[in-house]
Amino acid sequence: MNTQPLAVKRLKKRREFLFVAKGKKAVRSSVVIQARRRDGSSRLEPHIGIGFTATRKVGGAVVRNRCKRRLRETARLLVPLHGQSGFDYVFIARAATAEKEWSRLMGDVKSALVSLAEDGAPGNDAKQA
C-alpha cells in the first residue's frame, strides 16, 4: 500500500463541478458531498480533486465564505485519509454548516466520505441518490 499522501487538486471550472454532479452523493445535516471517478486522463499522476460551493440559500457572502472556509479545513484534514485516488469530490454547504459544532461537522464529513467509499467506489453512472 502506498503510504505517501495523495496530491489534492482544486476543482475550479464549472464543467468540473457539473461532471461531479452526475456521480453519487452523500447527504448529511451540515454538508452534501458529491463524488465521481475521473476519466482515465490523469493516470500518470493520481490525485484527488476537490471543490467547494455554497448557494445564496445558505446566507449572505460572509456566511457563505465562513461555510467554505470550514469545509476547506475539514477536507484538508479528512480527504487524504478517506478520499479515493482518481476521484473528484464537491463539498456543498448547507444552512447548518456555518454554526455546526466543529466535531459534529468533522463527523458529518467523515461519515459522508466513508459511505461514498463503501458504495463500491462512485462510478461514472448517473445519480443513485
- Using CB atoms within 10 Å of the CB of residue 108, give its burial: 0 to 12 exposed, 13 to 18 middle, 19+ buried: buried
Q: Which residues pair with 50 in a beta bridge?
A: 10, 89
Domains defined for the chain, CATH in brackets: 7-118 (3.30.230.10)
What pLDDT was estimated at residue 85? Answer: 87
Q: How confident is the model over 49-99, as pLDDT tens digits? A: 999 999 999 999 999 999 999 999 999 999 999 998 889 999 999 999 999
Write the DSSP string, 95-127.
TTTTTS-HHHHHHHHHHHHHHHHHTTS--SS--
Asked if the model's pLDDT at residue 14 lies above 60, the reply is yes
For 34, the grid coordinates are 458529491
The pTM score is: 0.85
